[in-house]
Chain A
């Protein structure tokens, strides 16, 4: 299993899609936050985080995502997680993240979920 963390990002219309790979620890979480922040500063308010290739995560890494949710919610934006491994899904549920962020099966579903939102 590949554990080295990396991320890629792309924009589709007004949406930022961040795809992670490998272990999301504090360093990985910080990298996601940094990538998000650079787009947020330029006005991006719709964000997808694709966790398809991150099956090993820790709570410190995932807690950086709370900062992203906070900034987006303050600005009227939204974060949607996709391709969440069932165990990670359970973890994020216990942490209460799905009360403040969305969850879809695929990136395409996430992009569709933004349709009609104002940001």
Chain B
């Protein structure tokens, strides 16, 4: 079996297209003999990253690009959009609620990606945004 496998897919802006990225992830995991439960958190990371990218991709720009590099030990998820970018420092940390205040309803994507990954990098310029996530699978 190969040491690592790679998958690159381009996602147009159509409803639920993030599921295509999930199917690709599942297919790679099955090929590598990685158990279902090991890949479950990666599914959430991919879903959030792709939704974030689609939100910022813009109507007229190239499609969102997703790239996986998977070994039996880890997966690197790269999600790239070609929108006008954003300043991550202006994105407020979501409120997780307190004794009386419920959590806020939107804006959880970045928080979840940071919290559930083993390494998270976001680079955003006026030419687009690139998110790189490392998730260990062992």
**Complex Cα spacing A73 to B104, Å:** 15
B:33-61 near A, CB below 8 Å: 37, 40-41, 43-44, 47-48, 51
Asked if B19 is an interface residue, CB under 8 A from chain A, the answer is yes
Contacts of B96 in A (CB 8 A): 94-96, 99
| Range for the number of chain A residues in contact with chain B | 20 to 34
- Listed stretches A41-49, A58-66, A107-115; interface member: A58-66
Q: Given A1-B26, A94-B111, A100-B97, is A55 in contact with B105 using a C-beta cutoff of 8 Å?
A: no
**Complex Cα spacing A77 to B41, Å:** 31
State whether A94 touches B105 (Cβ < 8 A): no
Question: Considering only CB atoms and an 8 Å cut-off, how many residues of chain B contact the other chain?
Answer: 28
Rounded to whole Å, the gap between the CB of A84 and the closest CB of chain B is 11
Query: Secondary structure at chain A's binding surface: helix, strand, loop or mixed?
Result: helix
**Complex Cα spacing A73 to B100, Å:** 10
Contact of B105 among A25, A58, A66, A87 (CB under 8 A): A66
Asked if B86 is an interface residue, CB under 8 A from chain A, the answer is no
State whether A94 touches B106 (Cβ < 8 A): no
Asked if A70 is an interface residue, CB under 8 A from chain B, the answer is yes
State whether B108 touches A87 (Cβ < 8 A): no
A:54-111 near B, CB below 8 Å: 55-60, 63-64, 66-67, 69-70, 73, 85-88, 90-91, 94-97, 99-100
Rounded to whole Å, the gap between the CB of A103 and the closest CB of chain B is 15
State whether A56 touches B105 (Cβ < 8 A): no
State whether B105 touches A91 (Cβ < 8 A): no
Contacts of B32 in A (CB 8 A): none
Q: What are 17 A-B contacts defined by CB distance under 8 Å?
A: A3-B16, A23-B16, A25-B16, A55-B40, A58-B18, A58-B51, A63-B105, A63-B108, A85-B40, A87-B40, A87-B43, A88-B40, A88-B44, A94-B115, A96-B97, A99-B96, A100-B97
| CB-based closest 8 A-B pairs | A96-B96, A87-B40, A59-B108, A96-B103, A63-B105, A96-B97, A87-B41, A94-B115
